[in-house]
A and B are shown apart, each in its own frame.
Chain A
Amino acid sequence: DQQVKQNSPSLSVQEGRISILNCDYTNSMFDYFLWYKKYPAEGPTFLISISSIKDKNEDGRFTVFLNKSAKHLSLHIVPSQPGDSAVYFCAASLQTGANNLFFGTGTRLTVIP
């Protein structure tokens, strides 16, 4: 049972434009959400996170939006750069639980120069 879903396996965006990656979750108990970026043959790299008490968190070109009522979050990258091309994973966790992250299946972002 996939509790975190990324329904778009791939996304292509022109350099300089905005990339929007989406993620849905089913477990209303999740209260902390993270985005990771992964290159082939490497481990995921933490990008940005958001607590459920917030609806937006921004870090440079990366912004994560959380809509708790819709159980939906999104990652905005603006402007997109060719170096952003990678697989992006959405993850969720329970604050009171152990360090167990529930991951989506990932979205492959390709930024076209």
Chain B
Amino acid sequence: KAGVTQTPRYLIKTRGQQVTLSCSPISGHRSVSWYQQTPGQGLQFLFEYFSETQRNKGNFPGRFSGRQFSNSRSEMNVSTLELGDSALYLCASSSRPQGNTEAFFGQGTRLTVV
């Protein structure tokens, strides 16, 4: 069974640009969550989608948005990039719609904003 796939693995963007990251969950998983990891901050929850609906959102500005398609694949978009958006962005998929289940992570997309 293939794991969670994130593309691209690495990305360099300029301040002010926008970026779209992609995540394909494990087959059969309908829940997809996004996290941002920066040095010293651990993993910060961005948002979670289940059956194409955003169910929960973390404390991030509106420049961060996402969506989920009918095949459960998800995209995350960041507009008007800032230097502080440089981070590892991780996607995770889960098999169940609620908590008390483990999430499986992709390898992440390393975004560098210059």
Expressed in whole angstroms, the Cα–Cα distance for A91 and B41 within the complex equals 13
Q: Which residues of B contact A (CB under 8 A)?
A: 4, 6, 31, 33, 35, 40-45, 48, 50, 55-56, 58, 90, 92, 94, 96-108, 110
Expressed in whole angstroms, the Cα–Cα distance for A35 and B48 within the complex equals 20
Other 11 A-B pairs with CB < 8 A, given A93-B99, A98-B56, A105-B40: A2-B42, A32-B100, A41-B108, A42-B108, A43-B92, A43-B106, A45-B105, A94-B99, A95-B98, A100-B48, A104-B42
Q: Which residues of A contact B (CB under 8 A)?
A: 2, 31-32, 34, 36, 41-46, 49, 51, 89, 91, 93-106
* Given A99-B94, A103-B42; A46-B107 close (CB under 8 Å): no
Which listed residue, A34, A43, A94, A100, touches B102 by the CB 8 Å rule?
A34
- Is chain A's interface secondary structure helix, strand, loop, or mixed overall? loop
B42 (CB) vs chain A CBs: closest residue: A105
A42 (CB) vs chain B CBs: closest residue: B107
B47 (CB) vs chain A CBs: closest residue: A100
Which listed residue, A45, A46, A95, A105, touches B100 by the CB 8 Å rule?
A95
Residues of B near A97 (CB, < 8 A) are: 56, 98-99
Show 6 residue pairs from A and B whose CB-CB distance is below 8 angstroms, ordered by the A residue: A43-B90, A51-B100, A91-B43, A99-B48, A101-B45, A104-B42
B103 smallest CB distance to A (angstroms): 6
